Structure 1
Amino acid sequence: MLRIGENAFRDHLFEHHKQNFASLIVGRREPVAWSDEETFPPIRFLLQQRAERAINDILDNLATVFLTAKELRLERSEAHATRVDLFGTGEETGITLIELKKSGQTERQAFTELLAYANHFCSIFPGLTESAITTVLVAPMETRTARDAYAQELVGNRKNVVALIPHEDEVGTFTLGVYYPDSSYYEWVENNIMNDHSMTCVTLSFPIMEGWIDSDVDTNGSIPGHSKSALNTVANSIAHHLEAAGFHALVYANQKWGHFPFPYLNCIVAVAMNPFSSARTAVDGGVIYGRSVSGRLEQVQAIFDQLTDDGKELHWLETMEGDFQGRLIRAVTEQFDLCFLSRKMTVYREIGLPDWYGLKVDIVGAVCTHNLNVYTTGLIREIYQEYQEHVYGHGYDNIYGADDLHMFLYGRLHPFFAVWQILSGLGYESDDGDEENVVETRQ
């Protein structure tokens, strides 16, 4: 706890720790480690491990920071310009923004301010992204709002952000303790992602285009190489578009076996985590319910209770779920249409909204078809890559068809079967809803 004010503390840091800001940092620890070499770790563990590695990388990089300004004014033309408490730069951190908050009441504003500061620098240096800016919050981290906001920026938005808790002892010595999000946050995220009930699936079916995307009819049941290349390119392009739009998704193309009498044999499948899934969060008679952890439902209930009567009648949750679905459809179709833009022909496509679990177990959609490369985005990409790193890093030889493992990890990044082995199981949920137990035993 600080006994001096924020301004005095800011001045002290600037005057005495311009070149050694990192020397005040205490409480660093090694990331969590999985001790059971016979089993795979659950999603929550992988998320926590990745986040703590990211925190420690930032701590290492802060050793190069040199503080070059205090109360840096960002908008000189404005009467009440915003100011960065401490501004610095470093060989590893790039632009470094440090915001100081002494109390829990004011720390709630910190992330809004830090994001505004980072956006300002991105606007005056075109091409700069927030991932190239390091933000440091020095605050008590006492409020749930601040802790959740920090974890979201670190894990969900993958920002270079670290939180440090200031402390002053009896003799006036200052330290900055590292804040690591509690494991309960990762359990919270795990219970609401990668589950069949949380996924929205969009399909775009379209016909064979002779000479460009052909079927397997004349190639002994094997999809032609040029068709495979074209379909993979389109799926990859859509995945890149979804990544840029902030979707946590997987995208792949498939082509039904040529002897099936379907008008549209080609298909693009895009599946994204829907944070507003009605299976996870719904309302009936003013009561929030769903297949989710109770703490999360209680917080959604608290928000719902504060809506006006008109607001409650607008079907708030259903509207957000529909809006998400609409955004996903637009993002997928816009990029698809761009890929097939032509001066000589029009490619017709049929939009479908199948149930994700149903599609995975459908004999035609999942088996009697050529499933091509899978391209993942956001948290789904990170989780999948973490699993692959774990396989290659720990030398598992008796799981996931290890005999067929590619020599190098890159060979497992996109092939359908490699991705499917892992992602197909992550959507499973037991009938009794004991999701924590399911995560532990499904592998």
Structure 2
Amino acid sequence: MPISEKDIQLHIWGLRDNWVNLIQPVKFPEPNHFIDGEYDIWSLNPQDAFLNIIYSRLSDLDKYTRKTELIGCEVHLKKNSDSTIRADLLCCSIGRGGFGIVEIKKSSQTERQAYTELLGYGNHIQGLFPGMSTEDLVYILISPMEERIVREATLLSLLNDEKPVYCLVPKWVNDDITTLKLHPWIPSNEDLVKISNGMFHPSNIDIFKLTWDYVDDWNYLPPQQNPEPHMVDTLNKLSIYAAQVMESKHITGFVYASQPWAEMPLLPNSLIIAGINPFKVSKLLHLIRTKRLDIYKTEDLDTSGIKLSNILPEIDNTHNKSSEDYLEAFSTAWTNTIAGISFETFKTMTINSENETFETDHGSMTWKQYQRILMEDVFVHNYDVRPTGLLRKLFQAYQDIDYKYLTKHSYENHPFHEHGDIPRYGIDNWYDIRYFREFLNRLFDPVYNYRFDINDAETDRKSEDPD
């Protein structure tokens, strides 16, 4: 008889004292640090940086899983409605603490339900132990990993939601359950394309700028004077709070505060919140796929004609109003998300014992448009920038690679550290908006707008070598 999910469950439970011996040895790909050759750093791109993050995360989860012990089989988890859901297996690791929920799916048809059930179990356990962090509960999925939607859900859980998800592919011979082996799943570059390709483009970044007049005692900027340290510190606190709210909502973006030069006729205080608009990303991805475009040659593409049915063609089968442009409405309305964070931040930070209120003004645009307005973006004091979500993870990854490169190759051929004015420590680099803008430019174009033949450059360098 064909092996069933129940057979797999009971077989693993029967080997509970040493079930981890079923997990086959694995060697996750070594991170590509782009530092082997002097010009390798020019090939750094978001997709490979994400793979580095994922492989490192999966390597840690592999070590955790191999140290777990099974503590329950077919565990009934009662819900408020008195209905129950059943976790196939429960495990734990005393050294790390917390639970591991094991869900078993045998086929590609049933694995589509895996995350619905896993997250249901997880929510119930988190309700029993309020205050659990994402590190206190590990999701272990035993599944063929054949469905694209399951692979994408795993990658998004690891990257965006920061949920510890570890996948094992079950394999056996001749329907003999005693030959069962569990093979750790290793995502491929292709699995990540849909997440990273097309996401980091200047037209996808929405800006919401909130401005206000001076507030007594903490941010009045006298004419012809530079901001005092306490003013800078106060405005930086606004961006800290806004970044925390953005992280709680899993928004990929960045935030910083600014004040105009004293001679500029502008309101003296600003909070700038930037977020990657997911609906704009989906439209750009559609064009890239259907027209086979190079993401780095899509400067001014018109995406206004793309509708929701282009992204979700199945919707035409169930909805008779396909002519309605929901996608454009979603894209436009998304700015309200970051606008709400701006207003919440300002209200929270200016609450006072006199019940005094402060008048504000605001505007929205794309990041590309914003950078072209000199009075708004150039003739100003821009303070500490705080990246969030996937941009924070990438900024950290790029900085780590940059410092490793500089240690090995110095700075002469680095994409933007060639000037040699390099902070010694990462902390001096982390909040500096100048470096962050250079980082964004590298995401928008991996070769950072430098168009030269690396082989020619290497030849020129050697020709200048006196030896």
Q: Same fold (TM over 0.5)?
A: yes
Q: 2: distance between equivalents of 1:152 and 1:294?
A: 23
Question: How far apart are 1:397 and its partner, in Å?
Answer: 2.7
How many residue pairs get aligned? The number is 421
Match of 1:404 in 2: 421
Which residue matches 1:8?
7
Unaligned runs of 5+ in 2: 293-305, 451-467
Report the Cα distance in structure 2 between the residues aligned to 1:174 and 1:93, rounded to whole angstroms. 28
The match for 1:85 is 88
What do residues 235-258 of structure 1 show as CA deviations (whole Å, max 9, x unaligned)? 111111111112111000111101
SS in 1 for 2:288: coil
Say if 2:79 and 2:124, in contact at 8 Å, map to a contact too.
no
Which one of 188, 201, 220 corresponds to residue 207 of structure 2?
A: 201
How far the C-alpha of 1:154 sits from its partner, in A, is: 1.7
Amino acid at match of 2:270: C
Aligned to 1:176: 182
Match of 1:357 among 368, 392, 398: 368
SS at match of 1:7: helix
2:115 matches 1:111: yes
Q: Is the 8 A contact 1:87 1:97 kept in 2?
A: yes
Q: Quote how far apart the aligned CAs of 1:365 are.
A: 2.2
Distance 1:119 1:29, change over 3 A: same
Does the alignment pair 1:439 with 2:455?
A: no
Inter-partner Cα distance in structure 2 for 1:23 and 1:390: 36
Q: Residue 58 of structure 1 aligns to a residue in which SS? A: helix
8 Å contact 2:45–2:443 — kept in the other structure? no
8 Å contact from structure 2 (residues 151, 191) kept in 1: no
Equivalent AA in structure 1 for residue 317 of structure 2? Q
Is the 1:216–1:224 contact (alpha carbons within 8 Å) kept by the matching residues of 2? Answer: no
What is the rounded CA distance, in whole Å, between the counterparts of 1:307 and 1:360 in structure 2? 42
Name the structure 1 match of 2:194: 188
Q: Secondary structure at the match of 1:354?
A: strand
2:288 to 285, 292, 295: 292
| One-letter amino acid matched to 1:343 | S
Letter in 1 for 2:289: V
Partner of 1:58: 61
| Deviation string, structure 1 residues 46-77 (Cα, Å, up to 9, x no partner) | 00111111111100111220100001110177
Query: Residue type matched to 1:5 in 2?
Result: S
Q: For residue 434 of structure 1, what is the aligned residue in structure 2?
A: none
Matched, 1:326 2:336: yes
Residue pair 1:243, 1:378 contacting (<8 A) in 2 also: yes
> Pairwise mapping of residues 174-253 of structure 1 onto structure 2 (< 5 A)?
174-215=180-221, 217=223, 219=225, 222-253=226-257
On the 8 A contact 2:89/2:101 being kept in 1, the answer is yes
1:347 aligns with 2:347: no
Between 1:153-162 and 1:250-259, the stretch displaced more is 153-162
CA shift in 2, pair 1:78/1:270, >3 Å = closer
* Corresponding letter in the other structure for 1:387: Y
Q: Are the equivalent residues in 2 in contact too, given 1:198–1:280 (CA < 8 A)?
A: no
Q: Which SS does the other structure have where 1:184 is aligned?
A: helix
How far off is 1:85 after superposition? 0.4
Q: Which moved more, 1:399-408 or 1:49-58?
A: 399-408
Q: Which residue of 2 aligns with 1:393?
A: 404
Q: What is the alpha-carbon distance in structure 2 between the residues aligned to residue 10 and residue 323 of structure 1?
A: 46
What's the offset of the Cα at 1:261?
Answer: 1.8
Q: Which residue of 2 aligns with 1:315?
A: 325
Structure 2: distance between partners of 1:309 and 1:244: 36
Between the aligned partners of 2:340 and 2:150, the Cα distance in structure 1 is: 33
Aligned-residue offset at 1:349: 1.4
Question: Alignment identity in percent?
Answer: 21
Q: 1:122 aligns with which of 113, 123, 126?
A: 126
Q: 1:280 to 1:88 in 2, by over 3 A?
A: closer
Give, in angstroms, the shift of residue 440 of structure 1. Answer: 4.7
Q: Larger deviation: 246-255 or 363-372?
A: 363-372
Whether the aligned pair in 2 keeps the contact of 1:107 and 1:141 (CA below 8 Å) is yes
Q: Cα deviation per residue 1:262-294 (whole Å; 9 max; x = unaligned)? A: 2x12111100011112x7528xxxxxx954333
State the secondary structure of the residue aligned to 1:212: coil
- Give the partner amino acid of 1:105: Q
Deviation of 1:317 (Å)? 0.8
Structure 1 residues 135 and 369, CA, compared in 2 at 3 Å: closer, same or farther? same
Evaluate the alpha carbon distance shift between residue 168 and residue 213 of structure 1 in structure 2; reply closer, same or farther with a 3 A threshold: same
State the alpha-carbon separation in 2 of the partners of residues 280 and 160 from structure 1.
26
Which secondary structure does the structure 2 equivalent of 1:268 belong to? strand
- Separation in 1, partners of 2:161, 2:119: 12
Note the aligned Cα RMSD (angstroms).
2.5
Q: Which amino acid aligns with 1:18?
A: D
* Structure ranking higher on relative contact order (CA contacts 8 Å, 6+ apart): 2
Task: Spell out structure 1 runs of 4+ moving beyond 6 A.
Answer: 295-299
CA offset at residue 78 of structure 1?
A: 5.5
The residue number in structure 2 matching 1:157 is 161
Q: Which amino acid aligns with 2:311?
A: V
Output the CA distance in 1 between the equivalents of 2:61 and 2:211.
Answer: 45
CA offsets, 1:105-125, max 9 Å, x none? 000000111111111111111
Contact map agreement 2:92 2:100 (CA 8 A) in 1: yes
User: Structure 1 406/354 Cα, relative in aligned 2: closer, same or farther at 3 Å?
Assistant: same
Residue identity opposite 2:231 in structure 1: S
Q: Please state how far the C-alpha of 1:32 moved relative to its aligned partner.
A: 4.1
Q: 1:261 to 1:404 in 2, by over 3 A?
A: same
Whichever residue aligns with residue 203 of structure 1, its letter is K
TM-score (norm 2): 0.84
Distance 1:180 1:442, change over 3 A: farther
Gaps of 5+ in 1: 283-288, 428-437
Answer yes or no: is the 8 Å Cα contact 1:13–1:21 preserved in 2. no
Contact 2:103 2:142 (C-alpha < 8 Å) held by counterparts:
yes
Residues 210 and 335 from structure 1, CA distance in 2 versus in 1: closer, same or farther, beyond 3 angstroms?
closer
Deviation (angstroms), 1:230: 0.6
